[in-house]
Amino acid sequence: MGTGEFGDLPFPRQQTESSMKKTLTAIAMLLAASAAHAQDTITIEFAYPYSHLFDVTYEKILPKFKEQHPNIDVKIRATYESYEDGTNTILREAVAGTLPDVTMQGLNRQAILVEKGIAKSLEPFILKEEDFAKDGYHDAMLTLGTFNDDIYGLPFSVSLPVGYYNMDVMAKAGITSADQLPKTWDEVVEVCGTLREAGVRNPMFWGWNITGNWFLQALMWSQDKATMEGTEIQIASPEGLKALETMKGLFRGCDMQNIEWKAALASFSAGEIGMMFWSTSALGAVERAKGDFELKTNEYPGLVASGPMGLPAGGNAAMLVSSSDDPKVLDASWKWLKFITSGEGAADVARTTGYMPPNKAANEVILADFYTQNPNKDTAVRQLPLLRDWQAYPGDNGLAITQVIYDGIEGIVTGEFEDMGELQEELTEEVQDLLPSN
């Protein structure tokens, strides 16, 4: 019976809160020189993934934004726990009619929101901007959020695959400086052999298990080949076979264990793994967790000595999903969207995370000194010219296709598949069945 007290509690609380607010607003109105000022405040709602990574970024950006736009309030919603969760939440909120104004979505999950008509085109706002290109937005970045020739998403944080090296372990293979680090996957396998002879049991970890088959796409782009062309999966191509063979060579040659990311990070931190290939975005986590050894990041190896010809971009983009018709709200949303993806706002991405701001001006002007002081963060920036799409699989079976390919690659790691030609056929057939046919 006593439990009723709890049930009643929130309501009087809210009442006192709202009456407090009323008094406060009244005071503010009296104090403000013009009464109109208080009424002009526009609130926009905003949601993003990965609290632990980006909370600090927005905490830094918000005061700067507020300074420039004192009459826009950005209300931050509950964060998404992952990119997939972010997409699910937006799809659900679209049904319920409770969409936020601006949302951050995984680069490979933008397409579905555009297809379903939830995301709004940013073209009308871009047309109104005078020096959009001068603000540092350049084509390679903009294509990541372009669908049917319209821009829907502005990339906010971008990551590329890089190599993490424990230089204390690498010294056992006679490698002591960055220019001696392996440049091709064949060299990686060679170093693995030397390290194993020197008694390193677990020389290498390769992030095949990153969401969205990111590393398969990395090997495909390395050969300048898209994984998806229209509605055709390209695993059947010679480049596809080369990608699978390269993986097999790496897994066998380095005797790589089938461990999940958390275990790999733990082993690398403990100094057991010499080379780890993963996203640059994990740099903060690696630095925080690592033991007492020298860490160096270096360019992602390629299939030939000149390095990869392209690499898929990871990360997230800002999208306008506001269901409001009020031009003031839309305009305020655009201002926020633009602020976080350009200038000081974008520079804070690099300052607080392992990601890069996808903005030329921010990287080259504001952050010039920053990268000299943080050489490990500079690796990904040097790779920026290689930036390509993180491709989504079209149709409703996108997630299922990701899983089919994931299972296939896992089979190479565990040794279930030996004949890559056979695997190539099998994967192509299974994936093609799941793709829409036109």
Distance in angstroms (rounded) separating the CA atoms of residues 274 and 246:
19
Q: Which is nearer to another protein, 320 or 427 (CB)?
A: 320
Q: Which is nearer to another protein, 49 or 240 (CB)?
A: 49
Q: How far is the CB of 159 from another protein (least distance, A)?
A: 8
Q: Which is nearer to another protein, 47 or 404 (CB)?
A: 47
Which of 352, 379, 383, 391 touches another protein by CB under 8 A? Answer: 352
Q: Which is nearer to another protein, 232 or 272 (CB)?
A: 272
Which of 353, 359, 383, 391 touches another protein by CB under 8 A? Answer: 353
Q: How far is the CB of 189 from another protein (least distance, A)?
A: 25
230 makes contact with another protein (CB under 8 A)? no
12 makes contact with another protein (CB under 8 A)? no
Give the interface segment with another protein, choosing from 3-11, 133-141, 144-152, 243-251 (CB under 8 A): 3-11
Q: Which is nearer to another protein, 352 or 363 (CB)?
A: 352
- Residue 291: what residue type? G
Question: What does the CA dihedral 230, 233, 236, 237 come to, rounded to 10 degrees?
Answer: 40
Q: Which is nearer to another protein, 47 or 431 (CB)?
A: 47
Distance in angstroms (rounded) separating the CA atoms of residues 57 and 156:
11
101 makes contact with another protein (CB under 8 A)? no
Buried b (16+ CB within 10 A) or exposed e, 158-171: bbbbbbbbbbebbe
185 makes contact with another protein (CB under 8 A)? no
- Residue 240: what residue type? G
282 makes contact with another protein (CB under 8 A)? yes
Sole residue written with tokens 């976080």: 340
284 makes contact with another protein (CB under 8 A)? yes
399 makes contact with another protein (CB under 8 A)? no
391 makes contact with another protein (CB under 8 A)? no
Tell me the per-residue interface mask from 327 to 346 with another protein, x by CB under 8 A, - otherwise: --------------------
Q: How far is the CB of 156 from another protein (least distance, A)?
A: 14
Count, residues in the chain: 438
Q: Which is nearer to another protein, 24 or 263 (CB)?
A: 263
239 makes contact with another protein (CB under 8 A)? no
Which of 223, 269, 297, 363 touches another protein by CB under 8 A? Answer: 269
CB 435 within 8 A of CB 395: yes
CB 252 within 8 A of CB 414: no
Q: Which is nearer to another protein, 77 or 138 (CB)?
A: 77
Q: How far is the CB of 322 from another protein (least distance, A)?
A: 14
Sole residue written with tokens 């052999």: 193
Which of 33, 139, 148, 288 touches another protein by CB under 8 A? Answer: 288
Distance in angstroms (rounded) separating the CA atoms of residues 332 and 347:
21
CB 320 within 8 A of CB 102: yes
Q: How far is the CB of 291 from another protein (least distance, A)?
A: 5
Q: Which is nearer to another protein, 39 or 82 (CB)?
A: 82
97 makes contact with another protein (CB under 8 A)? yes
Q: How far is the CB of 82 from another protein (least distance, A)?
A: 6
Positions in 34-93 near another protein (CB under 8 A):
45, 47, 50-53, 55-56, 59-60, 76-79, 81-82, 89, 92-93
Q: Would you tell me how many other CB atoms lie within 10 Å of the CB of residue 157? A: 29
Q: How far is the CB of 237 from another protein (least distance, A)?
A: 28
Which of 96, 127, 327, 372 touches another protein by CB under 8 A? Answer: 96
Distance in angstroms (rounded) separating the CA atoms of residues 204 and 249:
12
Total residues contacting another protein by CB under 8 A comes to 54
Residues interacting with another protein, by CB under 8 A? 3-4, 6-7, 9-10, 45, 47, 50-53, 55-56, 59-60, 76-79, 81-82, 89, 92-93, 95-98, 100, 210-211, 261-262, 265-266, 269-270, 278-279, 281-282, 284-291, 351-354
